[in-house]
Structure 1
Amino acid sequence: MQKNIVLIGLMIALGGCQSMKDLGKSTVEYLEESRTTPMERYLAELRNPSVPLGTFDDALDGNQGKACRQTTHYRTVQPSDLQLVISASEGGIPTCQHVLGTFYESGTGVGQNTARARSLYLQAAPADPYAYVELARMARDGIDEPVDPVKARDYYTRAGIGGVVGLGGLMEQGKGGAQDVSGALKLYVDATQKYGDPAWKAMRPLLALGLELDAEQVQKYNRVWIGGLLRQMRFELWRSYELGGLNHSGQTLTIRVLFRFSTGSPKPKVYLAESSGDPVIDTAVVSAVYRLTMKDPYMLPAGQETFDFVAPVVLSPSAKRG
């Protein structure tokens, strides 16, 4: 039986915690799947307060942009916040023009005016490519203009990484151009940056259909997958009641836990690979991470039956709860 051993270090406070922060179809069909932009979820759910409105690139935000974008996180927009967005939009801040466009499209704080929304997206897009995602969605679904999947493809392409899932959805269905399912899959793999992000989720149904990745794509898939496993491990340790209630005499302890994944199984078997010297703490750590389950399997080489993941978990008394 072949094994692949990966050593990854984690830090967690014993008795403490770390802060955790971690298109193609018609809008109705699209929403029935899970590939939705926050704007589409907003329009479908009448404003989920935990989901931002619009599709934004956080890296573009200066102070004014951040202030405008924060106004999209609430069920209603306050008059003072609306005035802030309007003033910054008139001052030429792209993110704020984008935000104001979403307000006009959805009728948040202002009268609904899709033509005005479209105009604002067009103003913002040269400096805020994610505004092209909104324009592409409008062209795709015929909002304030006839349905035009060719234009939608163009806009999604201009949006860069933010438009990958939308562009890929049109490619999968052959709308606005040739059908190219393999090309869509390549887009998703190239664009995914974090396990479970929109590009990763778009990849899942294509892999379930039996499409295969080449060797380089498998390497990236597995690299992103490992990052997701690490985050899930940290979460399970962070939320462990048993582990959080333990204390020790100011010592830093290291425990090594081995996860064994079998072909096609997202649920690993868990073993204690190296003891901390304290059986109570060992049991608490193993019990915490035993709950871990990945939604997707690790891609094993042909003929390999298992994948072993060894994680040193460092329990430090110096870290603060928060």
Structure 2
Amino acid sequence: MNKILALLLLGSLLGGCQSDTSAQTDAMVGLRCWHYRDQESLSREMLDYIRRQGEAGNPMCQTLLATLYERGHGVVQDTARARALYLSQTQANPGAYYHLGRLDEQEADYLRARDHYQRAAAAGSRESALALARLMEEGKGGPQDLPGAQQLYFSVLKQSGDDAWKGIDRLRGHGLELNAEQQARYNQVWTASARSRLSRKLRLLQHRTLGKLKLGPDVKPAVVEVRFVPGSAEPRLKLLESSGDTPLDQTILQALGSYRFVGEPIPQAGQDDWRVKAHIDPHAR
């Protein structure tokens, strides 16, 4: 934490006249509150600092203070006080309506929850869009709107297996079909996610496993085909080019064998699988 504060302070000094002193102070105060949020127990000094800065209007400290009142962590639980603090942030940050929506749901006031989630979602809150889509999917707080929920899920879809992906899959399970554009987007996200996760797996293999081995100068890069077959999260692996070292090849195949696909793309005409070549250079660092 001290290192982070030092870097932030250095950045402020280097910024010179281009930085606003008040903004710098707010950032430092907010960073300190952000650090306190991870503490299992809060000292009286911490609580006094959070309360003083939160009541003074620092957004980060204000949010933390509201959360403490909501959960009764370090203070007497006071949902009304938490709600008032969240509400006080909405003018400067409409995304804070998300917290009000959560409180509404806890009180089973789904109509008001929809309204608050809608306000936050319109301001770019992904969590609110997901929560609003779920209420629309379940028909809580208003009429059930499966196409509308589907559209919202797609608007915040980031990768296969995330909450938006799961929402889309639930709706597909209820018989809601995807149009051509949505199918393309769905498959595009799945492919990008598969490649990203595979790249992460290869980086770990490179640094945690291969980087510790003593390899001879004759060892060459290996090429492995990673293939997805519908109905199985486990990849089909095929060694296309050997490294010239059989034990090393087996180490690479064993490591890649633990990779798993998340979700499945929608089958397209003439395509029943997905495959990519993974290049592994044992000498790379």
Same-fold status (TM-score > 0.5) = yes
Name which of structure 1's ranges 204-213 and 172-181 shifts more when overlaid on structure 2. 204-213
Separation (CA, whole Å) in 1 of partners of 2:95 and 2:228:
38
Deviations 1:71-126 (A, max 9, x none): 22232233333333223312322232111111001101111100000001101233
Separation (CA, whole Å) in 1 of partners of 2:140 and 2:168:
18
1:239-254 paired onto structure 2 within 5 Å: 243=210, 245-248=212-215, 254=221
Q: CA RMSD in A?
A: 2.8
Match for residue 89 of structure 1?
54
1:220-259 paired onto structure 2 within 5 Å: 220-234=185-199, 236-237=201-202, 238=204, 243=210, 245-248=212-215, 254-259=221-226
Report the CA distance between 1:234 and its aligned residue: 4.6
Match for residue 16 of structure 2?
none
Which runs of 5 or more structure 2 residues have no equivalent in the other structure? 1-25
Of residues 73, 79, 97, the one that matches 1:108 is 73
Count residues with an aligned counterpart: 254
1:159 and 2:120 are equivalent in the alignment: yes
TM-score (norm 2): 0.77
TM-score (norm 1): 0.69
Match for residue 45 of structure 1?
none
Q: 1:314 and 1:213, CA in 2 relative to 1: closer, same or farther beyond 3 A?
A: farther
1:261 and 2:228 are equivalent in the alignment: yes
Of residues 248, 251, 254, the one that matches 1:281 is 248
**Going by fraction, where is helix more abundant, 1 or 2?**
2
SS in 1 for 2:214: coil
Separation (CA, whole Å) in 1 of partners of 2:145 and 2:88:
32
- Does the 8 Å contact 2:219/2:243 carry over to 1? no
1:297 and 2:258 are equivalent in the alignment: no
Report the CA distance between 1:173 and its aligned residue: 1.6
1:190-229 paired onto structure 2 within 5 Å: 190-229=155-194
SS in 2 for 1:167: helix
**Higher gyration radius (CA):** 2
SS in 2 for 1:108: coil
Aligned AA (2:265): Y
- Does the 8 Å contact 1:86/1:96 carry over to 2? yes
Name which of structure 1's ranges 96-105 and 272-281 shifts more when overlaid on structure 2. 272-281
SS in 2 for 1:159: helix
Separation (CA, whole Å) in 2 of partners of 1:303 and 1:212:
20
Report the CA distance between 1:254 and its aligned residue: 3.5
Aligned AA (1:106): R
Separation (CA, whole Å) in 2 of partners of 1:196 and 1:62:
34
Taking every aligned residue pair, what percent have the same amino acid on both sides?
36
